[in-house]
Structure 1
């Protein structure tokens, strides 16, 4: 930077340089006319001013100044690896961050075509410059380039993104289960794969629930599991979970046992008997054949122990016999 001033007598003229108001003492050449900055750095940016004064004189000094802006080439502080693999339908972040003065602009290209998030809503440039792609598709496979540009220059880095598909795999299949009719039961089916496998539940050849089919009482849950609510006796059988995508099919099966609910279908009836005669009270029950039923009779909230009272007999079918009745009965 040069500062050419004139005065009389010239020998008494002194030129002083300042940067942002602070006197500069290095880099002064040619009797103060020239300020030279070798290998300028960003820290050298600022307002430079030269002031011309006459020694031992009351003549006012004169000054002039200008701003110096030191630009810095872009430099990457975060770059992607050369090859990235990601599964279909997943989200991937491709890192790219740069620094420089002024702060570089980040521009992304895919296969040499500039990426426009407006036209491609699944693509989003994050704060800092990284590229995020949501819901990966096979067409997202390709070469991605990140350019960092400012007034000082331009740099670029690139990576190859490979979108992979994976055959379905049932990671947690259904287990043999038992349920009482009228209750709810869940048959589990957790899967992995890319793209995300479609789940279909079948009983025999009959489709119960899928992405497009849902019969009453059968609900396909978000996890892929099957909810049966309420269960019926006719629901007993073998259930198959089938997971499928473009790469293949995986399936797993389990048996569901539905127990008949125990019900009192012939309850005891109010009755009157003559003192000293016999009273018979029935307790007819329907139940699942695999279940053993135990009959317990109570009188006014207290359990009757038939084995300890000779007058009382309890039949295997639940019928209660009371002989030699009296008013205390």
Structure 2
């Protein structure tokens, strides 16, 4: 076993003047540590330093130097050097440690405060030690007890002299310590320490509380309810008064333990203060501080109400333009606690620049409601939903049934903690997406044909559009101004491009361009136009002579097919006279390519001609049709070719017969 450590001073007590320092060196055969007086506070901790000199390599010796700077009366007490592996219960053993008692002799402070407010608390039948500590080793100390019974269960350490004075007990103490081994309730009360030295005298009081059992009192600063705004830092502070210590403190939210590793919270001040670092709606709830020691367990709860100034954003059916005559919905969403109320406002386009839609400075925002807009069909509705994290989201929808006005819509959400607004530009357009090309023809046209394109651009967002021709060889040129016609609608600028008598070299890509008024970005819409050269018609399927037996069939069809560019039109003639499809008994089918004669008769005979015609020319085909049929008789009006009888019944004498005569 190693010998006890030793100090570099033989004195058991040292006196230090205020402001001076103290340096003590301790040596031993094993690693060393230091203990400080019970009244050792944070101020002393900042002034103390320990330097380790030896590490056992030189003759097995270890050394440690304790230095305390700028000492005050509160630094008075015993400083003890001991082997680091000594059990706490054995540190005060003189064989395991070496110590020195330092007095910081301060004339204005004769006593050393041992506990906050000089209050000692113990439980019934447990020991309590009353210390009258002074800063002057030469001071005489007297302890006045509450009653003579106080010392009945206690001892006075070292020598003392007992005196009686008017029914109280007075002890002249040299070591200034009174220990009551088994304190009882009567031992509680006020004890007075009186000290006297050459400079004068002073008194100090120590209150002793002897409890029947342990206790815990928990009280939170905000009572049962506290409130916080979203985005702020909030503290829930509870004070805990308990005996005996230690007291174990645990925080819960809605019954679930809050771990100290949770990044949403910071637990400080010996676990009595809960910091919510960035308040969010989900932090609302019941917070409980549970405290327990070896005798009792209690808890105290605080309800946190989270409030939030509303946030607002607007979404439109179409992010940029609203098509004229089509229903449009503006959706205003807000997060706010408590629930916000919504208001809608409207303002027309204004400003100094007529080509820009800007909020009018002269016009005030108009409240937009069903009452003050009876001529503008609309709907208003409000609802509440929840995000995946449980946050409540409130929504107001403004539905415009038939929007026609350009302007701005503002949505405002308000609760008692403030309001927020969002403004949405509302531009009505008569062309999809505010810009586009419309065609009057197909992608392919025949030569010598007239074509027309129109390009529209929203007048607030884009400059007036222009047309350009990109030839197949990638050469671009502006189209002739003579081919351009400009129009203006309430919402758009329109440029109509008309090209007459198209030729093959007019084929290519036609591009409409406009610039954004906001950032100058060029926007384009284009179409490719193919022009086919004109080809005179050629007959693919023509007519030929034919004989039709009227007694075997009741109808006749003639077909004529022709090729050509443009696609030829088929015209029909009989004996040089045009055959029209709207005459009774005659039909033109397949776009005029087939002639159908219903209920054929002898008068339908003759020379039929089909002529294919386009702008490049024409071609004809002829065929003679002969009608043959059985003769049914002759009458005053000619030869009978057909007879139809109806109304003939066997039991009647009278009947009627209709006949068709060939003149």
TM-score interval, smaller chain: 0.3 to 0.5
Larger Rg: 2
TM-score (norm 1): 0.46
Structure with greater strand share of residues? 2
TM-score, normalization by structure 2: 0.26
